[in-house]
Amino acid sequence: MIVLVPLADSPRCHLREALRRLPREKYQIAGPPGEEGTIVVLSELLERSPLPPPGLPPGCPAIFSGQNQAAAQFAGEAGLVPLDCGLSLRDTLTLSSLTESSAMVSLQRPVARLDGAMVEPVDLPLVLTRPWEPFHLLCCAGVLLLSGGVPALGEAGVF
């Protein structure tokens, strides 16, 4: 089981709802660190660096908006491995296109999966079956990439 730790400080944040679209048999939202790993997901609306939750494993990945200073600061101070995402070319995970029915997710730099294997830069076409907020789509794609690599995006049936 992979544990997702969403961190948000705004009632307007709908990050948890987006993460609940991931397969429940493989991903648990919050809870103690998982046997297969833990991934921290920080809201794009985060306004201040949160306190680290108890039991957060050092060196686990953190997915956050590359435009959010509070999230980047938290990841650095907590010793987490950053996976910044957004719509900038500086972001590691970005969208090169997004329509109602499709998205092209682009991994700009290599990232290490939870099992230590590397995922090399790649463009990943997704067929969308529902509307997505760009940041939430990138967070879910990031979780899938970190936990299972490129094949996990097609197998999950999330999008």
Around Cβ 131, how many Cβ atoms within 10 Å? 8
Q: What is the pLDDT of residue 35?
A: 66
pTM for this predicted structure: 0.93
State the average pLDDT over residues 57-70: 93
| Planar angle of CA 121, 122, 123, nearest 5 degrees | 145
1-49 pLDDT, tens digit each: 999 999 886 677 788 899 999 999 999 998 666 667 999 999 998 888 8
CB 158, CB 145: distance < 8 Å: no
Q: What is the pLDDT of residue 33?
A: 66
d(CA 127, CA 99): 10
On average, the pLDDT of the chain sits at 91
Does pLDDT of 116 surpass 80? yes
Does pLDDT of 137 surpass 90? yes
At 42, which helix (H) or strand (E)? strand 37-42
76-98 pLDDT, tens digit each: 999 999 999 999 989 999 999 99
* Residue type at position 134: P
Contacts of residue 100, Cβ cutoff 8 Å, sequence gap at least 6: 128, 131
Contacts of residue 150, Cβ cutoff 8 Å, sequence gap at least 6: 119, 122, 124
d(CA 79, CA 57): 9
Q: What is the pLDDT of residue 34?
A: 64
